[in-house]
Amino acid sequence: MTQMKKHAWVISLAVLLAVLLALTKIIQPGFGASGIESLARAALPFGFATSGMAVVIIAGGIDLSV
């Protein structure tokens, strides 16, 4: 039981993700793996910029020029 309590937030996150995916599939039946891939490709440049900014800020320099 303690193992279950320890990882309760991971389980609840997985359940929330499953519910959101099910709702998306109900609302937009055409949305599938290709739609998720398209969203991931569109978000990729922002992820790279965020990663670079995080490294600079964690290292101690404040550079918010992006």
pLDDT at 43 over 90: yes
- What tokens were used for 28? 């937009």
Q: Show the DSSP H helices in 1-66 as ranges.
A: 2-6, 8-27, 33-59
Q: What is the pTM of this model?
A: 0.49
pLDDT at site 59: 86
Could you tell me which residue, 60 or 1, shows the higher pLDDT? 60
Q: How many CA atoms lie within 13 A of 35 on its CB side?
A: 8
